Amino acid sequence: MLDKIKGYIEETASFKAESLEQLENFRIHWLGRKGVLKDLFEDFKTVPKELKRDVGQAVNELRSHLEATIVKQKEAFDGQGQESLNLEDYTRPSGFELGSKHPVSVVRREILDIFSQIGFKVAEGPEIEDDWHVFSGLNFPPEHPARDMQDTFFIEKDPDILLRTHTSSVQVRTMTDSEPPMRIVMPGRVFRNEAISARSHCIFHQIEGLYIDEDVSFADLKQTLMYFAKEFFGKSKIRLRPSYFPFTEPSAEMDVYWGLNSETDYRITKGTGWLEILGCGMVDPNVLEASNIDSKKYSGFAFGMGIERIAMLRYQIDDIRLLFENDVRFLQQFKSI
């Protein structure tokens, strides 16, 4: 038996696999469940006691030699893609899934990139805020319905500590902390006391923009938004509908002309061809003054949009809850973006 084992070592010493498949066959032949080594271990049982030590050593030597041959040759094949996984199957678990970026992160990044091209810097602020930064500093009158418990999550009352309902709070922080000119985009998570449905969620994300300088006009706002629509949606036809926000005057809502070429277009634009994208307006002089900015010298515009809403339009997602559940079957669809 000792000679047989030595013979095996010599026989396999010059083995050189030409493919992973050949190497795998080699492994199965020698070390597999019905392989040569298995037989040797069976035979070992019948080896006379006095020879057991030597034979045992020889079998172990053969096994180490075979294992080393396989490992060494496998390394040579590594880096050749899929094939190398086959051999790994029996040494460690394989099939790790590649992750994907969340659609909200993708859209957030894209929007920030578009505005950074024209000089907007990113500014961020806390999610837990006080009344001043979310409401009073933004010209909300004391009886405004947004201050209602039904609309806002309060953490404490008198003085009011609450979860911010919009990223406009970062406007107030930036205006108080720095001097014009300022040109910032403010991404962040916001909270509203709303029932969760396919259309709305109590947590979502916004990106807000603010530009303050001398002689900023409504035409500047319009040009900036047209540029954004062109870059993000590939469409340059927009319209501004009059609207109302306590902190901007005049205020508007911007729609992008999407077109009515397919059934989906009809569905997502509710048959109008227009998509409602964001709220905007010229910063109310009261808001500038509240943050100690001279409203005679400076003017500015602001705009704000919901990231989930934009992601839903872009990827034709019809239930906002899908963006929060993190179901891998949903997320896997975004692997390529």
**Which residues are near ligand PHE by CB under 6 A?**
166, 168, 208, 245, 248, 279-281, 302-304
Alpha-carbon distance of 30 to 39, in angstroms, equals 10
- Least distance between ligand PHE and beta carbon 192 (Å): 9
* Identity of the residue, 74 or 205, whose beta carbon is nearer to ligand PHE in the bound complex: 205
Alpha-carbon distance of 309 to 278, in angstroms, equals 10
* Side-chain half-sphere exposure of 103, counting CA atoms within 13 A: 26
* Identity of the residue, 188 or 304, whose beta carbon is nearer to ligand PHE in the bound complex: 304
Q: Which two tokens stand for residue 288?
A: 């500038």
Q: What is the DSSP letter of 277?
A: E
Alpha-carbon distance of 68 to 71, in angstroms, equals 5
- Least distance between ligand PHE and beta carbon 187 (Å): 13
- Least distance between ligand PHE and beta carbon 224 (Å): 12
- Least distance between ligand PHE and beta carbon 228 (Å): 14
Residue number closest to ligand PHE, CB atom: 304
- Least distance between ligand PHE and beta carbon 97 (Å): 36
Q: What is the DSSP letter of 87?
A: H
Alpha-carbon distance of 324 to 326, in angstroms, equals 6
Cβ proximity of 66 and 37 under 8 Å: yes
Alpha-carbon distance of 156 to 42, in angstroms, equals 76
φ, ψ at 128 (rounded to 5°): -95, 120
Q: Pick from 308, 132, 277, 282: which is nearest to 210 by CA?
A: 282
* Identity of the residue, 40 or 305, whose beta carbon is nearer to ligand PHE in the bound complex: 305
- Least distance between ligand PHE and beta carbon 281 (Å): 5
- Least distance between ligand PHE and beta carbon 244 (Å): 10
* Identity of the residue, 100 or 286, whose beta carbon is nearer to ligand PHE in the bound complex: 286
* Identity of the residue, 187 or 279, whose beta carbon is nearer to ligand PHE in the bound complex: 279
* Identity of the residue, 73 or 169, whose beta carbon is nearer to ligand PHE in the bound complex: 169
What phi-psi label fits residue 80: left (phi over 0), alpha (psi between -120 and 50 degrees) or beta? alpha
* Identity of the residue, 73 or 291, whose beta carbon is nearer to ligand PHE in the bound complex: 291
